[in-house]
Amino acid sequence: MAWRSRLSYIGRRHLGIFFNPSTSNWTKVVSDAEKIVGYPTSFMSLRCLLSDELSNVAMHVRKLVGTKHPLLNTARGFVYDSRNNLQMRGLIVLLMSKAAGPCPSNSDPICDSMVSGIYPSQRNLAEITELIHTAFLVHRGIVNLKEWTNSDGPLKDMQFGNKMAVLSGDFLLANACTGLAQLNDTKVVELISSAIGDVVQGIYHESSSSAEEGSLTVASWEDQTFLSHGALLAKSCQAAMKLARHGTEAQNLAFQYGKHLALGHKLNSDLQPFVKSGSEATVFSLDSAPVIFHRQIVGPERWRHQLKRVQNMARQIDYTKLRGLIKMERGVSQTLDLCSYHGNKALEAMKCFPPSEARSALENMACAVTKF
């Protein structure tokens, strides 16, 4: 496949970033969970987003109106995105903090500073987690100008949009790092710093892998997806336990919950084009889990033959035909099984925490990613 087509696949993979499983069910679960932690987490990053610096950025972003620069969609998501719940990571950190509560062996007077069962430092951590995630969303909005066409908008505007994406993403990351230092916990700084490195590594591998070459296996997909989608959540949950001075066991359980929930969430997202009703032509990534399972089942030669069958003269893929071919094999059912596995592992990690509303909310989230 030509390099241009390959890069377009990579771009499509990033378009699913705001997508969440089974919209109505997931939205209800998140809405109920937000009531438990005390306030809607959609406003968690508001202090930073309303700062003078980002207000100036917002003024400049208006220049992109009328173009197809992805930074516009990212900005719209911050203003209104109730359907997709962008602030999921911070909410889970708060729920995990509340579910674990104070460390039983800790008689430190900081327990008196808890609000709704959550330490201020844990709320700050949740905000930091969201800022980091938001920064990477903004950075992912950088356009490959080698693919630029006149229909995308003026070239100078697209170049300007790229500069704004880099600078505003860096600004958010800088604010997150400042807040991280103010937590005054070197172990937490180490954990979240390593998560930032994991995300960078995961995104790099995503951008360098070729779907047509079939370089990804299911195992490597899980490793890569953990880095790009799961590491930040898993390590933030672990860091929340560390801030409350919980022991290694509680920290590991929180890590496992975050890891398996993130993987289950991504699997659910990848499955949507194959399980939702409707005959519309849905574009999906050739590096999504059902496609990878399918590739392993049919083998590289047959996979290349199938790709050629569904391409037109311009080498554009008919995704409706390709989806039909994939659904004829067991790739979709194997992905469903893997999604259920990760959902169950997340539930298993929560069993050692005391019964509470927060624990129930986390369990409901784990169940929600396995429903379609």
Model pLDDT for residues 143-186, shown as the tens digit of each residue: 777 766 666 667 777 777 777 778 878 888 888 899 999 999 99
Predicted pLDDT of residue 84: 46
Look at residue 316 and tell me whether its pLDDT is greater than 70: yes
Q: What is the structure's pLDDT at 39?
A: 56
The predicted model gives 293-306 an average pLDDT of: 92
Predicted pLDDT of residue 13: 38
Cα→Cα distances 53→70, 142, 183, 278, Å: 21, 20, 23, 44
Which of 12-16, 215-219, 260-264, 321-325 has the least mean pLDDT?
A: 12-16
Per-residue confidence (pLDDT) for residue 55, from 0 to 100: 55
3-state secondary structure the chain: CCHHHHHHHHHHHHHHHHCCCCHHHHHHHHHHHHHHHCCCHHHCCHHHHCCHHHHHHHHHHHHHCCCCCHHHHHHHHHHCCCCCCCCHHHHHHHHHHHHHCCCCCCCCHHHHHCECCECHHHHHHHHHHHHHHHHHHHHCCCCCHHHCCHHHCCHHHHHHHHHHHHHHHHHHHHHHHHHHHCCCCHHHHHHHHHHHHHHHHHHHHHHHCCCCCCCCCHHHHHHHHHHHHHHHHHHHHHHHHHHCCCCHHHHHHHHHHHHHHHHHHHHHHHHHHHHCCCCCCCCCCCCCHHHHHHHHHHCHHHHHHHHHHCECCCCCECHHHHHHHHHCCCHHHHHHHHHHHHHHHHHHHHCCCCCCHHHHHHHHHHHHCCCC
Report residue 73's pLDDT band, with 50, 70 and 90 as the boundaries. low
State the pLDDT confidence band at 108, using cuts at 50, 70 and 90.
Answer: low
Residue that wins the pLDDT comparison between 307 and 216: 307
> Which of 85-89, 112-116, 157-161, 332-336 reaches the highest mean pLDDT?
332-336
Lowest mean pLDDT among 17-21, 95-99, 173-177: 17-21
Quote the pLDDT of residue 135: 86
% of the chain beyond a pLDDT of 70: 73
- Decide if pLDDT at 60 tops 90: no
* pLDDT at residue 234 in the model: 97
Report the alpha-carbon distance of residue 123 to residue 168 in Å, rounded.
23
pLDDT for position 326? 93
Instruction: With a cut of 70, say whether residue 77 has pLDDT above it.
Output: no
d(CA 239, CA 252): 10
Cα dist from 81 to 62, 75, 78, 86, 301, whole Å? 19, 10, 7, 7, 42
Instruction: Locate 99 and state its tokens.
Output: 């579910």
pLDDT at 100: 92
**Distance (Å, whole) CA 101 – CA 106:** 11
State residue 201's pLDDT score: 93
Question: Is there a contact between 135 and 173 (Cβ–Cβ < 8 Å)?
Answer: yes
pLDDT interval class at 85 (50, 70, 90): very low
Give the pLDDT band of residue 283 (cuts 50, 70, 90): confident
| pLDDT above 60 for 53 | no
Q: Which residue has the higher pLDDT, 203 or 250?
A: 250
Rounded to an integer, the average pLDDT of 326-352 is 95
Check pLDDT > 90 for residue 366: yes
Query: Between 358 and 12, where is the model more confident?
Result: 358
pLDDT class for 25, splitting at 50, 70, 90? confident
Choose the weakest-confidence range: 9-18, 101-110, 232-241, 247-256: 9-18
CATH code that applies to domain 24-370: 1.10.600.10
Phi, psi angles (nearest 5°) of residue 329: -100, -170
- Tell which wins on pLDDT, 5 or 271: 271
Summary mean pLDDT of the chain: 79
Instruction: Reply yes or no on whether the pLDDT at 260 is more than 90.
Output: yes
